[in-house]
Structure 1
Amino acid sequence: MKFSCLKSNLNPIVQLASKIISTRPTLPVLNNVLLKTDRGGVLVSSTNLELSMSAFVGAKVETEGGITVPAKLLAEFINSIPDEKISLEFKDSRLEVTGANYSAAFNTIDMDEFPEPPAMKGEDKVLIPVPVLRDNILQVALAAAADESRPVITGVLMVIDGKKFTLAAADGYRLAEQKVTLSEDSGKSNLRLIVPARGLHELHRLLFDAGEKDFVEVSFDENQALFKYKDIQLTSRLLAGQFPDYQQIIPKKFASTVTVERAEFSQAVKTAAIFAKDSASVIFLSADPAKKTLELKASTSQVGENNISVAAEITGPGGSIAFNARYVSDMLAVTTSAKVSLNINDALSPGVLIPDTGAGSLYTYVIMPIRT
């Protein structure tokens, strides 16, 4: 195998492929990325057996073939060299990468050992606008569970029903739901897929620079989903099981609504969290309609305490509630709205943060209170 291409074409694909690699692979070849000549170019592939990626890179192919090389080492090397034409050649059991003033040789593993993702059975397809996925994945995936004792809640529920598109995740401590009205009917009726959160994080990375008017082709069967954008495709296994009936957790009415500037509130939460590190990250929020303020407080007996006051518009009697600071900060970090509203009933009921996400979408973030 021998081919040449521009570093600027190969580098972003190799970087994406290297992110798929597991930190604890079960097979040596799973540390590697597959480079294989295809259609007058090169197909770059990687997998961790649950998530797979492949992408086509335009190249001048001199000799057909394929080989696997250490993914993270290749990605780091290519990223560090100048933006120029590079040559890659499989020679004497190693892959030689050369540029004008740079060269490297990588140990390899035969491409026959590289696992292929299972073929889809009776696949179905739907087109989703790029912004619908890219702009909403992070807002929802943050609420997926990290603990795999209940696999189904480590995923994100995706529901496609006509013009309605919904993403939802819940880990038992918080819940995030994003509803979007599509511009065109999807042609699907109550289609429900549970996609591992990590897979959607990689999809977001893939779509980061995608065009606003482009579409993602989503193919699926009962076991896996394939997301295709131009010459890049990402295949993820689907999670089996019944996703929790999260709708019953979302309060329908609120006693008080507290509206604050998002940036100011975010900074206040981060500051309060400094004093909450040794007290399970608990921060106390008190809404005072008379003072028109939302006061944040955190304390640790061994360190001290702090108090922060944020200007707020308050409807209702106000009140106090305690949250995990990280759960609040996570939400404020993934929305860009100028203001957010904290909706509460009492100290023992869930609180709901809602940003101004614009027309056509509705984002709801529920946090369970901490009883003190």
Structure 2
Amino acid sequence: MRVFINKNVLESIITNTNPYLEKRDLSAITSHIIIQAKDSVLNIKATDYEIGLAYKLSNVKIIDEGTATANGKKLLDIIRSLKDDEVQLETLNNYLYIKQKNSKYKLPMYKFEDFPEFPTTQNKNKFDVDAVMFGRSLKKIIPSIDNSNPKHELTGAKIDIKQDLINIVGTDTKRLSVFSLQTQTQNEFSLIIPKKAITEMQKLFFDKIEIFYDENILIAQSQNFEFYTKLINGKYPDYDKVIPKEIKKRIKLNRDKMIEGIKTISMLSDTMKITMNSQTINFESVIEDNSEAKTQIDCETELDEEIYFGVKNKFLLDFLSNIEDDEFYLEFNNNNLPFVLTSKELKTVIMPINI
């Protein structure tokens, strides 16, 4: 194989594929990316068996066709060190040579025949969705997804495909976020996408994309790339039961004022008590030692009686940092029951803490 490629293009692709590599066992073929020049197209792939990413490049000068593998991290370090100029990739005697003017590097290759095959879209269902909106919705619910939980399904997001509606759901059992995406759908179905895959999907979903799925795999394809992730098998909690069906009070609040109040308390404490009356909202730290933080903002709540609840600061800030509007709604029934934050398509239910 012998090809010439723009340094910045190659660096961008190798950077994007690095999260898909096996990091613990460097002797595994999946610690390598595979580079294949064939039929005037350069294919670059990476996978750790759980998720995978492949790029197709046609704007590349292919002198000789062939296939190479290279340790993804080492290759990225090399490419980053080069100047903004054309790079030559060449295979010889089971080594990949990376050349640019007077600089030359050599990396050992593994057997490319051992590289895992990517899944195909054959016999899989398909749904069309606005890629930008889908990526945006995943970003909004990802803070609510648990990082580690014995129930593996809680470490992913549920994609609940209904009639002309897709609900994207994340929960860590202390809070639950739902983003409702209005879109035409063909089949009702639900699947659970791992959190790691969601993190990578947000970097990719900005182009026209087709999504295919079955009970085990989700595949996203665009003109330039193909992404896949294995899905989590498990029974996701019935999120509809968590969302209160009846609400006694709904208060409109200013996002920036609330953020200011929360951050004041966060200087000393990661939990707080919020007390609301008809004219003000009071924020007070919840700390075991004798330190204390308090602040207050003016707000016309139209409450008939004072209400209060304890909450983790982070839960509120995660929601407020993921909305675009200047105002949002707080919905509640009683002090000791879950309360709801809403802004357009995003809804987050939060369990209060005992204070």
Q: How does 1:258-277 map to 2 (within 5 A)?
A: 258-276=251-269
188-197 or 20-29: bigger deviation: 20-29
Cα distance in 1 for partners of 2:106, 2:295 equals: 57
Q: How does 1:192-341 map to 2 (within 5 A)?
A: 192-207=190-205, 210-211=206-207, 215-276=208-269, 281-289=270-278, 291=279, 293-302=280-289, 304-316=291-303, 317-341=305-329
SS at structure 1 position matched to 2:334: coil
Q: Which amino acid letter does the alignment assign opposite residue 265 of structure 1?
A: M
Q: 2:352 is matched with which residue?
A: 369
SS at structure 2 position matched to 1:243: coil
Q: 1:14 is matched with which residue?
A: 14
Contact 2:273 2:286 in 1 (8 A): no
Structure 1 residues 193 and 370, CA, compared in 2 at 3 Å: closer, same or farther?
A: same
Cα displacement string for residues 48-94 of structure 1 (whole angstroms, at most 9, x for unaligned residues): 11111111123111122222212123224324433321111123433
SS at structure 1 position matched to 2:53: strand
**Does 1:150 pair with 2:139?**
no
Q: CA deviation at 1:96?
A: 2.0
Q: CA deviation at 1:274?
A: 2.7
Q: 1:350 is matched with which residue?
A: 338
Contact 2:131 2:209 in 1 (8 A): yes
Cα displacement string for residues 158-190 of structure 1 (whole angstroms, at most 9, x for unaligned residues): 1223421211122211101011222xx33x232
Give RMSD over aligned pairs. 2.2
Q: CA deviation at 1:216?
A: 1.7
Q: CA deviation at 1:250?
A: 0.8
Cα displacement string for residues 247-281 of structure 1 (whole angstroms, at most 9, x for unaligned residues): 111112333334333233224323322312xxxx3
Cα displacement string for residues 5-42 of structure 1 (whole angstroms, at most 9, x for unaligned residues): 11232222211101222443485322221111133121
Contact 2:44 2:56 in 1 (8 A): yes
Contact 1:96 1:106 in 2 (8 A): yes
Structure 2 residues without counterparts, runs of 5 or longer: none
Structure 1 residues 253 and 162, CA, compared in 2 at 3 Å: closer, same or farther?
A: closer
Structure 1 residues 46 and 248, CA, compared in 2 at 3 Å: closer, same or farther?
A: same
Q: CA deviation at 1:303?
A: 6.1
Structure 1 residues 79 and 294, CA, compared in 2 at 3 Å: closer, same or farther?
A: farther
Contact 1:34 1:67 in 2 (8 A): yes
Structure 1 residues 109 and 369, CA, compared in 2 at 3 Å: closer, same or farther?
A: same
Cα distance in 2 for partners of 1:116, 1:148 equals: 30
Structure 1 residues 37 and 200, CA, compared in 2 at 3 Å: closer, same or farther?
A: same
115-124 or 220-229: bigger deviation: 115-124
What count of residue pairs does the alignment treat as equivalent? 353
Q: Which amino acid letter does the alignment assign opposite residue 109 of structure 1?
A: Y
Q: CA deviation at 1:236?
A: 0.8
TM-score (norm 2): 0.91
Q: Which amino acid letter does the alignment assign opposite residue 177 of structure 2?
A: A
SS at structure 2 position matched to 1:286: strand
Cα displacement string for residues 295-332 of structure 1 (whole angstroms, at most 9, x for unaligned residues): 22214344611112234341433411111122222222
Identity %: 19
Q: CA deviation at 1:245?
A: 0.6
